[in-house]
């Protein structure tokens, strides 16, 4: 089963609207030779219009970093899926560990957001991953299974066409500590097996599972060589077009 690799940048709360076009154009230029890889920049919502304009006619897809599950209403500070689509976004990150850690995101709200995003036609990049404390307490399997089972409750096999899962061990995010390829592969296999119980093995085989956590040009190839690692969700290294393109090149060579 060959799954098209997907490399997505997660800009987090970096890059201003006025800086967006230069980075998107830089990414497009540096990755245009790698048509076999799906290339995505997920930007702060306020950058999305500039990112979409800069990406027009290129290989780069644009996404956001969060969305609300209601279409409209009294939800001050939130952004709906319809707003993202209207601005030209095609992807949205859901349940990033920073949102879980700092903004009260739970598996239940991940589920609401993911289902709303998919129903609206966005591709949802749903993040799961354990903290160091959970890993050391032997709770890795329990945590991942819970995040998957609750976070993806009532997601159907048909919905999976618009689903990407990102495995991001919290201890590897922005720390320079990467999971070893074997450690990552072990969890990716667990994620696929858990997904298979939810939507069937055939569908689970088709869903891309990204690794995220200090992925960079120097370690991307060995991670992406693993059977169940189908791409990357890239934080720090997505802020420089050359670094990001180095990871896309590694994915293209797989």
Residue nearest to ligand PGA (CB): 235
116 binds ligand PGA (CB under 6 A): no
Where would I find the H helices in 200-240?
A: 201-206, 217-224
Min dist. Cβ of residue 127 to ligand PGA (A)? 7
40 binds ligand PGA (CB under 6 A): no
26 binds ligand PGA (CB under 6 A): no
Residue 178 is given by DSSP the state P
45-84: contacts with ligand PGA (CB under 6 A): none
Query: How many residues would you count in the chain?
Result: 254
Q: For the packed helices 48-55 and 17-31, what is the interaxial angle rounded to 10 degrees?
A: 30
In the block, which residue shows the tokens 């209403």?
A: 73
Min dist. Cβ of residue 70 to ligand PGA (A)? 25
Among 181, 189, 236, 240, binds ligand PGA (CB under 6 A): 236
Could you give the CA distance from residue 244 to residue 55 in angstroms, rounded to a whole number? 15
Residue 164 is given by DSSP the state E
How many residues bind to ligand PGA according to rule CB under 6 A? 13
Min dist. Cβ of residue 96 to ligand PGA (A)? 6
202-221: contacts with ligand PGA (CB under 6 A): 212-215
29 among known catalytic residues = no
9 binds ligand PGA (CB under 6 A): no
Min dist. Cβ of residue 76 to ligand PGA (A)? 26
- Give me the catalytic one of 65, 68, 96, 130: 96
Min dist. Cβ of residue 172 to ligand PGA (A)? 6
Q: CA of 43: how far to CAs of 130, 146, 184, 219, in Å?
A: 24, 28, 25, 24
Instruction: For residue 84, give the nearest of 125, 28, 43 by alpha carbon.
Output: 43
Residues 6+ apart with CB under 8 A from 137: none
**Residue 100 or residue 162: which is nearer to ligand PGA going by CB?**
100
Instruction: For residue 44, give the nearest of 79, 4, 74 by alpha carbon.
Output: 79
Binding positions for ligand PGA, rule: CB under 6 A = 10, 168, 173-174, 212-215, 233-237
């Amino acid at each position: 089963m060959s799954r098209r690799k997907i490399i997505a940048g997660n800009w987090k709360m970096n890059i201003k609207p006025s800086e967006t076009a230069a980075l998107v154009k830089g990414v497009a230029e540096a990755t245009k030779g790698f048509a076999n890889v799906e290339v995505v920049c997920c930007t702060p919502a306020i950058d999305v219009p500039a990112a979409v304009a800069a990406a027009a006619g290129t290989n780069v897809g644009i996404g956001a970093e969060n969305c609300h599950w209601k279409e409209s209403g009294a939800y001050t500070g939130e952004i709906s899926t319809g707003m993202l689509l209207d601005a030209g976004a095609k992807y949205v990150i859901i349940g990033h560990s920073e949102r879980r850690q700092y903004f009260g995101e739970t598996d239940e709200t991940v589920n609401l957001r993911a289902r709303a995003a998919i129903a609206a036609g966005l591709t949802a990049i749903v993040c799961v991953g354990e903290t160091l404390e959970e890993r050391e307490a032997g709770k890795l399997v329990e945590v991942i299974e819970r995040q998957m089972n609750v976070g993806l409750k009532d997601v159907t096999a048909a919905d999976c066409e618009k689903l990407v899962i990102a495995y991001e061990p919290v201890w590897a995010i922005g720390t320079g500590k990467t999971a070893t390829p074997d450690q990552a592969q072990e969890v990716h296999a667990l994620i696929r097996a858990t997904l298979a119980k939810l939507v069937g093995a055939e569908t689970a085989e088709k869903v891309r599972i990204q690794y995220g956590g200090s992925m960079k040009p120097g370690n991307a190839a060995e991670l992406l060589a693993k059977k169940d690692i189908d791409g990357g969700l890239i934080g720090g290294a997505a802020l420089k077009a050359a670094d990001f393109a180095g990871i896309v090149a590694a994915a293209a060579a797989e």
